[in-house]
Amino acid sequence: MKVHGLIEDLGDVPFSVEPSMLRRKSRDYFWYSQALAEDLAGKQADVIVTPRDEADVIRVAALCARWRVPLTPRGGGTGNYGQAVPLHGGVVLDLSEMTAIADVRPGALRCAPGAKMHLIDAELRPGGQELRLHPSTKRTATIGGFVAGGSGGVGSVTYGGLREPGNILAARVVTLEETPRVIELRGDAAQKINRAYGTTGIVTALEMPLAPVWDWVDIALVFDTFAEACAAGLAVALADGVVKKLVTPISWPIPRYFGPLAALAPEGKSLLIAMVARASMETFLSLVRGGEIVHEADFDESPAATPIYEYTWNHTTLQVLKSDRNVSYQQCLFPHDRLLESVAEMDALFDGEVWHHLEFIRFAGRVTASALPVVRFTTRARLFEIVSIYEKHGVFVANPHVFTLEDGSRHKRAEADQLGFKAEVDPLGLLNPGKMRTYEPMRA
Ligand SMILES: Cc1cc2nc3c(=O)[nH]c(=O)nc-3n(C[C@H](O)[C@H](O)[C@H](O)COP(=O)(O)OP(=O)(O)OC[C@H]3O[C@@H](n4cnc5c(N)ncnc54)[C@H](O)[C@@H]3O)c2cc1C
């Protein structure tokens, strides 16, 4: 078998074929979608290879090309759409051991792809800097996985998502060819690997922009209605003078599932969660006057603490899933020019079947809200019907119940030309095959 030949040629590059390891490292969080849980069941790698450095990556890429074996890169495995699930077996390349932070300068950082984002920030903080944005999985996800699989998160209310020019400064990628090349993509060219699910090259280094670190305060307020929490959140998001990292209105009954925070939200009330710089607190409070503060704490990411961002973005779904496995979620972007009207319209449509929470973000220079509403699961057909209901009402959807990047990530910019770049870096079509469905390999 081809994989056996490849394993024999690996030399001293660490690998595992241990069955529990193969199972564990072939999964991500696709099971948040009952449709994907069905579609991706049993998909598994033949070998997990764990490179120590770029030289190991080049060696494995060359072997995969020579033996015609698929290769799926993997960071922390926290992706949501089976992004890191090997549809056709082969090698899962676990980059989580490549963690070096090579270079920190004012405003920018260069690091290896497997560095965990909370560890990057811990290292940067004494020097007064931090990552501009991170997913709510900051404590488990890698920077390479975020850039290759994610979209935005905490910090996007100020800086927008990864798609915004300047939010990825450069990426170094290894091609999948018999003689792999190493390519440095700078500026807009780096978008070729953003949210491409590892289909357009193996990222071995990234240059990311940094922000000044602030004395962040985690805060939660209750409001009588979701509409009031959204209006207060929008006022904060629009206030450019208020230094903030997170603004998240959450409708009842979601707060009921919030473990230690659950007691803070009385029956029927909605929450507004935020991360605000202490220096901006006075102005922030003047903008959210209708709410009652129920939680206020110094930002704390230590292992025993739960930072407030772990109740937001797709962690909201996770908090509900902890006690109710019969829910799923949806991913959408509300129109900026009738934001609160559109949210109210969608919130009124589903009679308890869909629970909304918003993430205020900047998108192409405008303030709007993305959202990952929690959906009560009934049938697969209904999950897809809900997607089309949002679309019919003018809400942009990135369908989280499909595994190809064309169907799932419609927030991507077209001009980055990921399809054309793939032909250059993966002529055999061996990088995470099946995820970029429009790609046809150039060579057999
Ligand atoms: C509870 C929860 C909350 C989440 N919240 C957010 C959020 O706020 N924002 C957000 O954007 N996402 C979110 N996600 C999705 C996911 O956690 C993030 O996108 C995360 O950054 C992925 O990083 P990872 O290291 O786990 O990547 P993985 O899941 O390991 O990989 C993601 C994709 O990147 C590819 N990849 C990984 N490393 C490389 C590399 N070195 N070179 C090339 N390709 C590579 C993989 O093949 C895969 O296709 C959430 C997921 C969960 C389960």
How much is the pLDDT for 323?
94
Within 6 A (CB) of ligand 1 lie: 28-29, 72-80, 83-84, 95, 113, 135-137, 141-142, 144-146, 148-153, 197-198, 202-203, 313-315, 318, 432
Tell me the C-alpha distance between 344 and 342, whole Å.
5
Atom 36 (ligand 1): residue with closest C-alpha?
145
Assign 418 a pLDDT band (cuts: 50, 70, 90): confident
What pLDDT is attached to residue 420?
Answer: 87
The 10s digit of each residue's pLDDT in 344-399 is: 999 999 989 999 999 999 999 999 999 999 999 999 999 999 999 999 999 999 99
Taking the C-alpha atoms of residue 154 and residue 371, their distance in angstroms, rounded to an integer, is 13
> Residue of the nearest CA to atom 27 in ligand 1?
145
Q: Is 157 exposed, middle or buried (0-12, 13-18, 19+ CB in 10 A)?
A: buried
Structure tokens at 207: 């240059």
CA of 213 to the centre of ligand 1 (A): 24
Q: Is the pLDDT of residue 411 over 80?
A: no
At 440, is the pLDDT very low, low, confident or very high (cuts 50, 70, 90)?
confident
Distance from the alpha carbon of residue 29 to the mean position of ligand 1, in angstroms? 10
- Asked whether residue 413 carries a pLDDT value surpassing 60, the answer given is no
Rounded Cα distance between 66 and 63, Å, is 5
Q: What is the pLDDT of residue 443?
A: 60
Greater model confidence, 226 or 413:
226
**Atom in ligand 1 nearest the alpha carbon of residue 95:** 41
Other CB atoms within a 10 A radius of the CB of residue 347 amount to 16
Would you say residue 76 has pLDDT above 80?
Answer: yes
Mean pLDDT of 175-191: 97
pTM listed for this prediction: 0.97
What integer pLDDT is reported at residue 415 of this predicted model? 42
306-320: burial string, b at 16+ Cβ within 10 Å, e else: bbbbbbbbbbbbbbb
Q: Is residue 58 predicted with pLDDT exceeding 90?
A: yes
Query: Closest Cα to residue 329, out of 379, 370, 371?
Result: 371
Mean pLDDT for 277-285 is: 98
CA distance 159 to 147: 15
Average pLDDT taken over every residue of the chain: 95
Instruction: State residue 414's pLDDT score.
Output: 39
